[in-house]
Amino acid sequence: MHPLLFITVHNSLRLKEVAGALIAIAGGVMVLGSMMPLGRRGSQWLAGLALALGGVILVIALHWGHG
């Protein structure tokens, strides 16, 4: 087995940070997409903003947290 396939504590933390970053990126894309002329609704913008903020908070908590 390749050593990169093992999930160590360090690898797990990095994977969680990547997941949080992807959540933040998805939220940002949702916000920008809702601002386009053919954007869907204001609620989509609000949902995207909440998703982006949640991703940023997740990354901060996982990176500097102790758990």
Instruction: Please indicate whether residue 57 or residue 5 has the higher confidence score (pLDDT).
Output: 57
DSSP state of 43: H
Q: How many CB atoms lie under 10 A from the CB of residue 20?
A: 20
- Give pLDDT, residue 20: 86
Q: How far apart are CA 36 and CA 66, in angstroms?
A: 40
| Nearest C-alpha neighbor of 46 from the set 31, 25, 28 | 31
Q: Is residue 5 very low, low, confident or very high in pLDDT (cuts 50, 70, 90)?
A: low
Place of tokens 């609704």: 41
- Average pLDDT, stretch 2-27? 78
- Average pLDDT, stretch 16-25? 86
Q: How far apart are CA 64 and CA 67, in angstroms?
A: 9
pTM, to two decimals: 0.67
Q: What contacts 39, CB < 8 A, 6 or more positions away?
A: 33, 45
